Amino acid sequence: MEKTFIGYFFKKIGFYCSDFARAYFKGSYSFLFKIYQNFFSRLEHRIGFIVNIRYFTVPLWQQYTFAAYLISIPYRIARIILGVLLLIILTLLFSAIYLCWILLPFYLILKTILL
């Protein structure tokens, strides 16, 4: 069937559809994931999430007094909670953007068919 015009036509249609799917789904995932990783690392560096976890018991300004512990531990807890919330919101936002991007071609196809 490949030697007929219809066979060649369907072979080319299949090739272009698979090429589009590979470029659209895999390429867009790679692109958005790189943006997500870059933004995630910048945000993590800015809020100091890992640093606050690592130095949780070390007082601020490294003054080992009772007052310094009373100030630094609640401060670090607040920074850790803020960091977790921001990173979860960021992850959910990028997941929603990617989900909308993935569903867009199917929506457009259905809208075109049911028009």
The pLDDT > 90 percentage for the chain reads 43
Global pTM reads 0.75
Residue-averaged pLDDT of the chain: 89
Local confidence band at 108 (pLDDT 50, 70, 90 cut-offs): very high
Q: Read out DSSP for 2-60?
A: TTSHHHHHHHHHHHHHHHHHIIIIIHHHHHHHHHHHHHHHHHHHHHTHHHHHHTTTSPG
State pLDDT tens for residues 29-45: 899 999 999 998 998 88
Express each pLDDT in 1-57 by its tens digit: 567 888 888 899 999 989 988 998 889 889 999 999 999 899 888 888 888 888 888
